[in-house]
Amino acid sequence: GQQVQQSPSSLVLQEGENAELQCNFSSTATQLQWFYQSPGGSLVSLLSNPSGTKHTGRLTSTTVTKERRSSLHISSSQTTDSGTYLCAPSTGGNNKLTFGQGTVLSVIP
Protein backbone atom coordinates (compact mmCIF):
# COMPACT_ATOMS: atom_id res chain seq x y z
CA GLY A 1 0.00 0.00 0.00
CA GLN A 2 0.85 3.67 -0.16
CA GLN A 3 3.55 4.86 2.27
CA VAL A 4 3.94 8.55 3.08
CA GLN A 5 6.97 10.19 4.68
CA GLN A 6 6.94 13.80 5.78
CA SER A 7 9.92 15.88 6.80
CA PRO A 8 10.93 17.49 8.98
CA SER A 9 8.89 15.95 11.80
CA SER A 10 8.99 19.29 13.61
CA LEU A 11 10.07 22.81 12.80
CA VAL A 12 10.47 25.94 14.92
CA LEU A 13 10.50 29.31 13.21
CA GLN A 14 10.68 32.94 14.18
CA GLU A 15 7.64 34.88 13.01
CA GLY A 16 8.26 36.18 9.49
CA GLU A 17 10.51 33.31 8.42
CA ASN A 18 9.58 30.93 5.61
CA ALA A 19 8.83 27.22 6.04
CA GLU A 20 9.50 24.38 3.60
CA LEU A 21 7.71 21.08 4.26
CA GLN A 22 8.41 17.91 2.31
CA CYS A 23 6.28 14.88 1.45
CA ASN A 24 7.49 11.71 -0.25
CA PHE A 25 5.21 8.83 -1.16
CA SER A 26 5.79 5.33 -2.45
CA SER A 27 3.11 4.88 -5.14
CA THR A 28 1.81 7.03 -7.98
CA ALA A 29 -0.88 9.41 -6.75
CA THR A 30 -3.75 10.81 -8.80
CA GLN A 31 -4.58 13.34 -6.09
CA LEU A 32 -2.57 14.94 -3.33
CA GLN A 33 -3.88 17.22 -0.61
CA TRP A 34 -2.18 19.26 2.06
CA PHE A 35 -4.08 19.75 5.30
CA TYR A 36 -3.69 21.76 8.48
CA GLN A 37 -4.70 19.87 11.62
CA SER A 38 -5.65 21.99 14.60
CA PRO A 39 -4.65 20.99 18.15
CA GLY A 40 -8.22 19.78 18.62
CA GLY A 41 -7.86 17.47 15.62
CA SER A 42 -10.00 19.17 12.96
CA LEU A 43 -8.62 19.03 9.42
CA VAL A 44 -8.60 22.05 7.15
CA SER A 45 -7.90 21.49 3.46
CA LEU A 46 -5.13 23.85 2.34
CA LEU A 47 -4.35 22.83 -1.24
CA SER A 48 -5.20 20.07 -3.70
CA ASN A 49 -2.22 19.61 -5.97
CA PRO A 50 -1.69 16.31 -7.82
CA SER A 51 0.89 17.87 -10.13
CA GLY A 52 2.65 21.14 -10.85
CA THR A 53 2.62 24.25 -8.71
CA LYS A 54 -0.31 25.89 -6.98
CA HIS A 55 -0.57 29.03 -4.88
CA THR A 56 -3.08 30.25 -2.38
CA GLY A 57 -2.31 33.21 -0.16
CA ARG A 58 1.03 32.59 1.56
CA LEU A 59 1.04 28.91 0.57
CA THR A 60 2.74 27.36 -2.45
CA SER A 61 2.69 23.65 -3.23
CA THR A 62 4.85 21.94 -5.83
CA THR A 63 4.21 18.30 -6.72
CA VAL A 64 6.51 16.31 -9.00
CA THR A 65 4.33 13.33 -9.87
CA LYS A 66 7.01 11.17 -11.50
CA GLU A 67 9.30 11.56 -8.50
CA ARG A 68 6.44 10.97 -6.04
CA ARG A 69 7.11 14.03 -3.95
CA SER A 70 5.40 17.24 -2.96
CA SER A 71 6.41 20.30 -1.00
CA LEU A 72 4.52 23.01 0.85
CA HIS A 73 6.10 26.43 1.20
CA ILE A 74 4.72 28.85 3.79
CA SER A 75 5.97 32.38 3.37
CA SER A 76 6.18 35.02 6.08
CA SER A 77 5.06 32.65 8.83
CA GLN A 78 2.73 33.89 11.57
CA THR A 79 2.13 32.55 15.07
CA THR A 80 -1.33 31.44 13.97
CA ASP A 81 0.31 29.08 11.45
CA SER A 82 1.44 26.87 14.35
CA GLY A 83 0.01 23.36 14.19
CA THR A 84 0.40 20.10 12.32
CA TYR A 85 0.64 19.96 8.52
CA LEU A 86 -0.39 16.73 6.83
CA CYS A 87 0.24 15.46 3.33
CA ALA A 88 -2.22 12.93 1.88
CA PRO A 89 -1.98 11.32 -1.55
CA SER A 90 -4.68 9.11 -2.98
CA THR A 91 -4.45 6.44 -5.68
CA GLY A 92 -6.84 6.34 -8.63
CA GLY A 93 -10.16 4.60 -8.28
CA ASN A 94 -11.06 5.28 -4.67
CA ASN A 95 -11.53 8.00 -2.10
CA LYS A 96 -8.92 6.72 0.30
CA LEU A 97 -6.39 9.31 1.40
CA THR A 98 -3.21 7.98 2.98
CA PHE A 99 -1.82 10.39 5.55
CA GLY A 100 1.73 11.05 6.63
CA GLN A 101 2.78 11.52 10.25
CA GLY A 102 2.82 15.25 9.72
CA THR A 103 5.14 18.16 10.38
CA VAL A 104 4.56 20.03 13.63
CA LEU A 105 5.21 23.70 13.00
CA SER A 106 5.80 26.13 15.85
CA VAL A 107 6.06 29.82 15.02
CA ILE A 108 7.31 31.99 17.87
CA PRO A 109 6.94 35.76 18.10
Partner 1 sequence: VTLLEQNPRWRLVPRGQAVNLRCILKNSQYPWMSWYQQDLQKQLQWLFTLRSPGDKEVKSLPGADYLATRVTDTELRLQVANMSQGRTLYCTCSAEQGANQDTQYFGPGTRLLVL
Contact between 45 and partner 1 per CB under 8 A: yes
> CA triplet 14, 15, 21: central angle to 5 degrees?
75
Please identify, using beta-carbon distances, which residue of 14 and 94 lies nearer to partner 1. 94
Please identify, using beta-carbon distances, which residue of 44 and 64 lies nearer to partner 1. 44
Contact between 41 and partner 1 per CB under 8 A: yes
Please identify, using beta-carbon distances, which residue of 7 and 31 lies nearer to partner 1. 31
**What's the min distance (Å) between Cβ of 76 and partner 1?**
25
Contact between 30 and partner 1 per CB under 8 A: yes
Contact between 89 and partner 1 per CB under 8 A: no
Residue 99 and residue 34 in contact, taking contact as beta carbons nearer than 8 Å: no
Contact between 42 and partner 1 per CB under 8 A: yes
Contact between 55 and partner 1 per CB under 8 A: no
Contact between 28 and partner 1 per CB under 8 A: no
Residue 36 and residue 109 in contact, taking contact as beta carbons nearer than 8 Å: no
Contact between 26 and partner 1 per CB under 8 A: no
Residue 72 and residue 60 in contact, taking contact as beta carbons nearer than 8 Å: yes
